[in-house]
């Protein structure tokens, strides 16, 4: 998969689906050659032409005025010695300068994939991947930079990371260290990214790349609702099913920055990594710093091809633990049913109704601890609220298990309320700047998880609960972004390390917690989808997709999320109407059909449902269970984008292509509306399929190329239509 041509110093990472080429030039710089469709061998056709350009200087010692770092395509560029574009690294030296001249020193090719200490990463064994290590050195300072490239055997995917070691005798300060950089030759590109807001996450934005810099980032201490650490460059002609896409996704849950820059010659620089805003890291002699991993995916089969690579790669090489390949349970969460107003009897009434309908997991959300009756107290006090759970959590869990269901519990371990025993005892444990006030969000503060003593205390409190209460599922929430990012234990010159040390502390905590309780299914949450990223998925195999449970809004949220993340990672619930976030009324059937696009569950008061509604819910649960393997482990196709019109459609196809279920959603009714045709995808063109509802037979090629007319939804808003087909065996 990785070859090295010693004479030309050319590296070729290749498999059946992708090629990636780079070369060490005569000056010792690592140049980028190519990323795209696979080629058998490289014979020098993409060597960068030596053309003199005005105001593009030559590096020290260069005798050829036609070579400039300002024009050549590079793998990991710096700034200050000729390249005026955005750098991948900025390192401040002891003399105050920021020029670092990394030149090639050596390389190594390894079987398998090494881990990055303290960070979540994709993983692979020696038969599934190969890794290239390119070692660079700045001879003046002794700094050593190692670029890591892992190519996966079965995917058009390459992971990247940068490792910086201080081999000198003076400390330096890292001010920027990206995880990857790719320089493309001139050509037309569009940028695809996922902006949003709380309750409106991962909306698809697509815009033409023009001259200048476009920055996609989060400075909130989390990957955020507002942006996602995913970017893709696509060709103007790229659609869901055709055209090229070059995507990157950062395996990190904190501040990140993605960057696209088109230079004066139409060349495009593309990178992602830690956000350098407010960041600095002192690297002492002998110390090493690891950038987070970035995953690169190439697709020649449009956006669906890109997404399916991410989906399968993450399911096989990112998710871990016993739940990775296990069917996920249908759950009921009490939050929108009761909010903080619950007691033992109400919870058991809800559980009784859930059990009758076939629900498998009962989740007790916020309000069971401290003296929490609203969102203004008790975070940080992880002991039972005896006045509310009078029988005790242990007995409540036993009662739930007696009903044949699993029991789940909500935590928000990274936060503390002003009104809490923990804050009264340790006010300095919250992130804060001495002498300044503490900004409040949701009446809470952020605990300093960069501190070992803070993590130790919260870990002890959680384990005291989990060691004596039979908990099968944990919802880990995080409902506030960071302000006053300052740690009491760090020196003034090291305060720029706080946000990243927080993430390293969080990852250390999660590794210990998930290892101690391997049987618990963990779901991450941050006000819904505010930390939906590969970093969290490494520890918790699913994420609550959004606090917005409105079916119409969820079409866009789940559609956008699927660009990078598989449906099995998306929590999706049916809630009551009028919807608590939008006030919208949608049919129960549509709410169920939308929620089946992820890990299925309910978030409403079942005791208030009519018998007719309960009958619908019972049928929904039975249908989902019967087809759970398809929904959770099948191949997912986006068919019609809700961002481009009044409808949406998606489809699940079994791995053997013998079974498929497609959903069509019509958002608003139209007077004299057009007749619409839906074409399916991913089927075997040589097989015949039976439509389950009508018993009619269609060819796979017929369903994909000709398609079927959809019903006309007259005077019916928010309608859904389901089609199921199975292969006909002759």
- Which residues does the annotation mark as catalytic? 477, 547
Q: Collapsing DSSP states into helix, strand and coil, what is residue 125?
A: coil
Decide if 537 contacts 529 (C-beta within 8 A). no
Could you write out the DSSP letters of every residue in 474-527?
EEE-------S---TTS-GGGGGGHHHHHHHHHHHHHHHHHHH-TTSEEEE-BT
For 415, phi and psi rounded to 5 degrees? -120, 160
With beta carbons less than 8 A apart as the criterion, state whether 102 and 172 touch. no
Q: How many residues does the chain have?
A: 730
Identify the helix (H) or strand (E) that includes residue 197.
none
Q: Is the dihedral of CA 298, 304, 310, 313 positive or negative?
A: negative
Residues 6+ apart with CB under 8 A from 538: 120, 121, 251, 318, 319, 320
First-last CA distance in the chain? 41
DSSP states of 644-669 as a string?
SSSEEEEEEE-TTSSEEEEEEEE-S-
Task: Based on DSSP, count helices (H) and strands (E) in the chain, helices before strands.
Answer: 13, 38
Q: Which residues of 385-421 are buried (b: 16+ CB within 10 A; e: fewer)?
A: beebbebebeebbebbeebebbbbbbbbbbbbbbbbe
Pairwise CA distance, residues 404 & 355, whole Å: 7
CB 221 within 8 A of CB 530: no
Contacts of residue 437, Cβ cutoff 8 Å, sequence gap at least 6: none
Residues 480 and 196: their CA atoms lie apart, in Å, by 16
Phi, psi for residue 317 in degrees, rounded to 5: -125, 10
Backbone angles phi, psi at 591, to 5 degrees: -60, -40
Could you give the CA distance from residue 358 to residue 351 in angstroms, rounded to a whole number? Answer: 11
Spatial contact of 88 and 174, defined as CB atoms under 8 Å apart = no
- Whole-number Cα distances in Å, 613 to 360, 592, 618: 19, 12, 9
Burial class (CB in 10 A: 0-12, 13-18, 19+), 349: middle
Q: Torsion over CA of 36, 42, 45 and 47, rounded to 10 degrees?
A: 90
3-state secondary structure of 289: strand
Q: Where are the alpha helices (DSSP H) in 358-420?
A: 393-402
Beta strands in 7-74 (DSSP E): 10-14, 19-24, 30-36
Q: Could you tell me which of 441, 439, 435, 352 has the C-alpha nearest to residue 399?
A: 352
Helix then strand then coil, in percent of the chain rounded to 5, is 20, 30, 50
Helices (H), 601-718: 611-626, 628-633, 700-705
CB under 8 Å to 662, separation ≥6 — which residues? Answer: 639, 649, 650, 651, 652, 678, 680, 722, 723, 724
Q: How far apart are CA 291 and CA 162, in angstroms?
A: 5
Within a 10 A sphere around the Cβ of 100, how many other Cβ atoms? Answer: 23
Structure-token match 């991913």, residue found: 682
Tell me which DSSP letter residue 687 carries: S
Reading phi first (left if > 0) and then psi (alpha if -120 to 50, else beta), residue 142 is in: left
């Amino acid at each position: 998969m990785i070859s090295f041509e010693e004479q030309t110093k050319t590296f070729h990472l290749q498999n059946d689906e992708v090629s990636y080429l780079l070369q060490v030039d005569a000056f010792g710089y690592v140049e980028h050659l190519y990323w795209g469709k696979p080629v058998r061998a490289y014979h020098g056709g993409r060597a960068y032409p030596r053309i003199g350009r005005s105001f593009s200087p030559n590096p020290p010692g260069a005798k050829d005025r036609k070579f400039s770092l300002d024009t050549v395509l590079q793998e990991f560029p710096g700034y200050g010695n000729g390249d005026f574009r955005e750098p991948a690294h900025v390192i401040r030296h002891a003399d105050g300068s920021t020029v670092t001249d990394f030149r090639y020193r050596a390389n190594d090719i390894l079987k398998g994939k090494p881990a990055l200490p303290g960070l979540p990463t994709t993983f692979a064994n020696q038969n599934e991947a190969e890794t290239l290590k390119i070692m660079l050195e700045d001879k003046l300072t002794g700094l050593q930079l190692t670029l890591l490239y892992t190519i996966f055997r079965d995917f058009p995917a390459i992971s990247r990371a940068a490792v910086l070691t201080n081999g000198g005798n003076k400390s330096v300060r890292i001010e920027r260290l990206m995880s990857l950089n790719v320089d493309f030759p001139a050509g037309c590109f569009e940028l695809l990214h996922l902006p949003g807001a709380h309750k409106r996450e991962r909306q698809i934005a697509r815009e033409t790349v023009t001259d200048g810099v476009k920055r996609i980032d989060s400075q909130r201490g989390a990957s955020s609702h507002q942006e996602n650490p995913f970017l893709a460059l696509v060709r103007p002609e790229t659609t869901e099913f055709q055209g090229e896409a070059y995507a990157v996704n950062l395996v990190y849950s904190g501040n990140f920055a993605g960057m696209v820059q088109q230079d004066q010659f139409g060349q495009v620089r593309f990178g992602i990594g830690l956000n350098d805003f407010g960041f600095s890291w002192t690297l002492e002699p002998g110390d090493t710093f690891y950038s987070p991993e970035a995953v690169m995916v190439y697709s020649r089969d449009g956006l669906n091809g890109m997404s399916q690579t991410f989906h399968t790669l993450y399911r096989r090489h990112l998710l871990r633990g016993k739940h990775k390949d296990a069917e996920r349970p249908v759950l009921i969460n009490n939050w929108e049913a009761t909010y903080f107003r619950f007691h033992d009897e109400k919870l058991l009434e809800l559980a009784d109704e859930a059990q009758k309908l076939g629900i498998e997991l009962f989740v007790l959300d916020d309000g069971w601890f401290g003296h929490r009756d609203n969102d203004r107290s008790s975070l940080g006090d992880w002991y039972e609220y005896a006045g509310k759970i009078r029988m005790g959590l242990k007995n409540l869990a036993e009662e739930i298990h007696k009903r044949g269901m699993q029991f789940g519990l909500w935590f928000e371990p990274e936060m503390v309320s002003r009104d809490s025993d923990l804050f009264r005892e340790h006010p300095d444990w919250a992130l804060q700047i001495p002498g300044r006030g503490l900004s409040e969000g949701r009446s809470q503060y952020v605990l300093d998880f960069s501190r070992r003593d803070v993590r130790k205390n919260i870990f002890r409190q959680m384990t005291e609960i989990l060691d004596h209460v039979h908990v099968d599922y944990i919802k880990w929430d995080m409902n506030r972004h960071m302000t006053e990012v300052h740690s009491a234990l760090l020196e003034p010159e090291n305060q720029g390390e706080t946000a990243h040390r927080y993430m390293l502390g969080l990852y250390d905590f999660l590794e210990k917690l998930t290892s101690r309780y391997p049987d618990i299914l963990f779901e991450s949450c941050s006000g819904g989808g505010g930390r939906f990223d590969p970093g969290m998925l490494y520890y918790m195999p699913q994420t609550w997709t959004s606090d917005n449970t409105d079916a119409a809004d969820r079409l866009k949220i789940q559609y956008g999320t699927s660009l990078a993340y598989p449906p099995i990672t998306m929590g999706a619930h049916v809630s009551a109407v009028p919807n608590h976030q939008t006030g919208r009324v949608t049919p129960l059937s549509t709410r169920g059909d939308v929620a089946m696009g992820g890990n299925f569950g309910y978030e409403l008061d079942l005791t208030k449902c009519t018998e007719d509604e309960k009958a619908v819910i019972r049928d929904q649960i039975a249908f989902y269970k019967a087809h759970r393997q398809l929904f959770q482990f099948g191949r997912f196709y986006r068919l019609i984008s809700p961002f481009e019109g009044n409808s949406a459609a998606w489809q699940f196809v079994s791995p053997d292509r013998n079974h498929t279920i497609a959903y069509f959603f019509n958002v608003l009714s139209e007077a004299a509306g057009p007749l619409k045709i839906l074409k399916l995808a991913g089927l075997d063109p040589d097989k015949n399929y039976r439509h389950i509802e009508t018993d009619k037979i269609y060819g796979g090629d017929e369903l994909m190329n000709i398609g079927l007319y959809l019903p006309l939804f007259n005077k019916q808003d928010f309608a859904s239509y389901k089609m199921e087909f199975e292969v006909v065996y002759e």
